[in-house]
Each structure stands twice: as structure tokens, then as C-alpha cells.
Amino acid sequence: MSSAPDRQLGPDLSIATSIGDAADVLVIGLVSGADGDSPPEPVIGDGLLDDARLAEISASLTAVGASAGAGEVSRIVAPASIGAASILAVGMGARSALDDPDTVRRAAGVAARSLTGVERALTTLSTVDLGAAAEGFFLGAYRFEEFRSDKTRSSKAPLASVSLLAGTGDAPRRDPAAELDRARSIATAVAVARDFVNTPPSHLYPEEFADRARTLGESAGLEVEILDDTALIEQGYGGIVGVGKGSSRLPRLVRLAYRSGASDAKKVALVGKGVTFDTGGISIKPAAGMENMTSDMGGAAAVVATVVLAAQLGVGVDVTATVPMAENMPSSTAQRPGDVLTQYGGITVEVINTDAEGRLILADAIVRACADDPDYLIDTATLTGAQMVALGTRTPGVMGTDDFRDRVAGISRRIGENGWAMPFPEELSADLKSRVADLANVTNHRWGGMLSAGIFLREFVADGVEWAHIDVAGPAFNTGGPWGYTPKGGTGVPVRTMISVIEDIAALG
């Protein structure tokens, strides 16, 4: 999977057979000592090093004051008998933290970012969890420099290759090569979503986004359908048309379908918000920070990447993505506060605030997705600033039908994307009543904004469909510094959550 055929999205990953394999740097983990006063202990798989070399490495790390604090890095000269010239030790916290794959994933990401300019790394982090280590190195080394000239492009290339030592314990393991292939596919999908989000709106607008989605879909053998602005008008997609009509770059609806081939396969629908830039429309946003609205198609980016990934992994369920794409601009043709739209399927909506546009295009897409009678529906969007007010910038809010909401949130936490289940207070439903239409697109107050947006979307979900809505307004785009395997800019959240939920459905129904 690639959004640009000539672009290397991450380092080459391979399985190592020995700690003596040639490398520039050996990457290991450090955990806290058995008691609070003991020196940190290296994380190296059983039998990979003899006691003498372990003692030499531990002594060198103690001498430089190496810390086991999460994300802390220390570098020492490697013993002569090790194939690498130096050792990079990454803090992982308490030994008990090794039970969480995301501890390994974050440590590998920190290591990858610390090894800019390094050609070859060898790691023992993979003896704890090979897949998590592979994902962390790949995503930690991610870089987006397509629009930089040589004047500002980094003079040092990202980490080029990583060899991962497989665990030697007695516990049954997945075949290392298969585990690595899966990790590489997942990490590549996340990187593709990041690329989409990081591409500026001057270069990624609805028509172009749809074309790129078509290319990805066709390369993965998916069924692809694209509705242009004329077809959207003719077929009654009032929300997408209403949001997109203020821009000279007109909206699209993309449908990508993967068929598993099983006659009794469950059907999963994915929907993602694809506002390629959001000015707020007539209800225009403040200028400060508006440039970050290049990320307002993060949900669509994740959904496109996920359905392609589902096909590549050959999951045992049918997956169909319905992706509305529009640009929300103020102009003489833009929708106005007070306008009434007729959404796909016939529900009318009074537009109180044109900056609450994501729910309008999602509503159309949800109704269309439900027309296929899916068993499950997941929609995701950078939908509300209220998500960040309630949960911060790293915790997606998960809403929907109770059981499926909790299932999605639990899986999201388990794989390190940290979704949190949120309620639907019924008193907020009354606040979405309109004076002239079936619904208003916002309430007349600012309380519970993330929840009322979810309640609005609930009106468009067909009865009997298990549904989860994931608000990733903060988590999809990192405006701060990099951390773990998460860079500044597009993060690719929630690709890993969605593919994990899909695989869970394939396994358990």
C-alpha cells in the first residue's frame, strides 16, 4: 500500500538470526531494577548474550547514568564481540509494562527517531513483541518532506533498515515471518493515512482525494465507485452537496468494497469524514490555527487506508467504505446559517452553524452505508473541538450502540490508540430540535458538544445495526512535538483500531 509509488514510507524490516548480525546500532530496552535502588536492567532475549557481555553492557549503561524512564535514551560503545558499533538503550519503565505491546511500540518509535542518519539497526525489542517492535520502528521513522526543497529538507535520511530478533521463549508464537508481514502491512496503512492528512489542501482536494483513493482501491482489487457533484445532486445527497457547494472544488463520494468470498461473512461498513479543508464556511473559524484544518479529512484517510488493509490481510468479513469528500468554503454559493438541507434518505436538517459540517456529510454517507444492510458500522471523524475539551488530544471518544461501543473502545485501548467509551445523555436529544426542519445541526448551547454530535449521527443509523462513532479531532493530528511512534502532524489514528475491530468480528462474529 502506498499513496505515492516512488515514496519509501518506512525502513526495510527483516528477521535477524543472531545478535552478531552486522548492524550500525544495537537497540535494546531498559526496565527498572528489581527494587527502586537497583540499576536499570537491559531487555535482551534469553540466551542471546552470555553473562559476561550482559555484565559489560550493564556496567557501561550504569556509568553513563542510563535511565529506564519511558522514552529516555542512552548510547554506549558496544562490546567488541557484538556486531554493532554502538548500543542504544531505550527506557521502558517497570518490567510489568512489558506486558503491554504499546510499551514496545513506543520504545521502538523513540529509537527510530533517535537513529536519523543510521543505515542499519538490529534490535532485541522484538524478543518481547516482534509485531509491536516492527510497527514502532516503521512508524517512528516516518517522515513527510514532499513539499520541502533541498534548503530545508533534513540532511540526514531516516533510519534505513531494521533487523528484528525473534523471541526464543517456550511460549507458542506466530511464525515470525508472518508476524513481520502483518506488522509491515498495518504500519504501511497507518503511514498512508498520515500521508493523506499531511498533504496540503492545495494538493489534496475532493477530486484529487477521490482519484488517489481509486488508485489505492483498484491496486488492492477493491470494487470502486465514485459519485461526482452532478451525481450527488441527482441522487439526493443534500448534506454533501450543501457543504461542498461553497467551493470551486466540488464534492465527491467514494465507495470502496472488499468481498471476502465467504457466503456467510459478516458485513462491516466504514464511514469517514473527508473535509479536505474546513474554513467553517459562512460561520467562519478564527484565523489562529486554521491551517490545522488540513487535517479535517483524517477520518476519511483512515477509512480508505483501513479498507485497503482489510483486503491485503484477507480478513474474513466483507468491508465497504463510504467516504464523503468536500471542501467547506465561504463564498456567494455557500450554504447559509438558516438554510434547510434534505439529507440522503429524506431527513431535513436546519443548518444553524455551517462549521458543524462534518456531521452533515457523514449523515448522508451513513444512510447510504446502511442501505447495504451491514451488521456493523464504524464511522470516524475529526468531528468536534469538544472531544479535545473532554478527553484531550490523545484519547478518541467512542459513542454508539452500547455493546459495540464498549467493544470498540476496549480494543482501541488494547492496541494503544486509547479510545474511551462515552454516553448519550438523552436530554441532549431535545436540544437538536429545529424550528423548521426535522433536526438542527447543533444545539443552542456548548455543553456536551461531542455527545450531541454523536446523537445527531444516531438519527441516521438504521435500526438493528451495531454502530460505533469514533471522534478523533485531537488524536488524528498532533500539533505538538513527536512522542513514541507518533510524529508531528498526521498520526493515522484510528486505522489500527478499525482493523483490529474488523479482525475481532471475523474471529468472534
Q: What is the mean pLDDT of residues 459-484?
A: 98
Average confidence score pLDDT of the chain: 95
Neighbours of 40 (CB within 10 A): 22
Give the N- to C-terminal CA distance of the chain in Å, as an integer. Answer: 27
Choose, from 113, 182, 255, 359, the residue flagged as catalytic.
359
State pTM to two decimals.
0.96
For the question of residue 359 being annotated catalytic, the response is yes
> What's the pLDDT tens digit per position in 348-379?
999 999 999 999 999 999 999 999 999 999 99
For the question of residue 285 being annotated catalytic, the response is yes
According to CATH, what is the number of the domain 12-166+173-188? 3.40.220.10
Q: Are 385 and 500 in contact (CB under 8 A)?
A: no
> What's the pLDDT tens digit per position in 386-395?
999 999 999 9
3-state secondary structure of 498: helix
Q: What is the mean pLDDT of residues 181-206?
A: 98
Cα→Cα distances 290→194, 385, 454, 473, Å: 19, 13, 24, 14
- Domain ranges for the chain: 12-166+173-188, 204-508
Choose, from 285, 414, 458, 488, the residue flagged as catalytic.
285
pLDDT band of 459, cuts 50, 70, 90: very high
Fold category of 204-508 in CATH: Aminopeptidase (3.40.630)
Whether the predicted pLDDT of 169 surpasses 60: no
pLDDT at 168: 63
Q: What stretches of 216-266 adopt beta strand conformation (E)?
A: 223-227, 252-258
3-state secondary structure of 314: coil
